[in-house]
Amino acid sequence: MTSTLLTRRAVLSGGTLLGLTGLLAACSQQANNEAAATASAPPSETASASAAASELPSASATPSTVRGYSGGSKAPDGEYRPADKYGNAQNVPKPNAPEEGYREKSIEGMRKTLKAWVEWANYGTETGDYSMARQFVSSEFKDELQAYADVEDLYASGGWIIGGVDYFEADGAPWSEGGETYFWKAYRHWDREIYVESDGSSRSWVNEDKTNDTFKFTLTHNGDKWEIMNYENVGD
């Protein structure tokens, strides 16, 4: 997802992905908090996502080798604070376990798989922990898995991500062109993301062209569960 790819809340139901305004959504309030951050944003979690974003010149940030607290202070236990120029997100709530039946070889099973992936991918963006998000991605989708590893390295080195949380709105129903592979189009809603390095430098991506945010997901059922094989920008 440079980031990852989704914020979540859309409800894909029955044979249709009904407005992913429910399925892949998470923390829309971040966009407001992030606007005050100084910096530029992070590399997109995937080449596809990166292509849809425009990179801004790196802003000069106050050098700091110590990651502080978002909001300028340690948040009380249980109080969520999004990432900002002071530090990474605090007390990020863990998503619920995937809905029962997400492994089923059905449209509903596919919907539940995408919903879980979006939630856990956004969680990884805010925490640097993609251990759960990986479970919904095929081992063949190497670009996505490498993106997760890169973000994990960023957090491990003392950096963090501001923003990068997004959500998808389904565009029509899934389809198959024969065989076990299915496709599903969805519109990605996002504003910007910022990768802050441990030395205070940063890079940012801003979604200026919102007419080019439609993605096509490719999924297949491996006999046990659905796997996301790929997603690519297909314009609108």
- For residue 23, pLDDT over 90 is answered with no
Predicted model pTM? 0.74
- For 166-205, the pLDDT digits (tens) are 888 888 999 998 888 999 999 888 888 999 999 989 999 9
Rounded to an integer, what distance in angstroms lies between the CA atom of residue 192 and that of residue 77? 28
The CA distance from 183 to 14, in Å, is 15
Encoded amino acid at 52, one letter: A
Residue 70 has pLDDT above 50, yes or no: yes
Q: Is 153 helix (H, G, I), strand (E, B) or coil?
A: helix
Percent of the chain with pLDDT over 70: 71
> What count of other Cβ atoms lies within 10 Å of the Cβ of residue 211?
7
**Helix, strand or coil, per DSSP, at residue 115:** helix
Q: What is the identity of the amino acid at 98?
A: P
**More confident site: 224 or 200:** 224
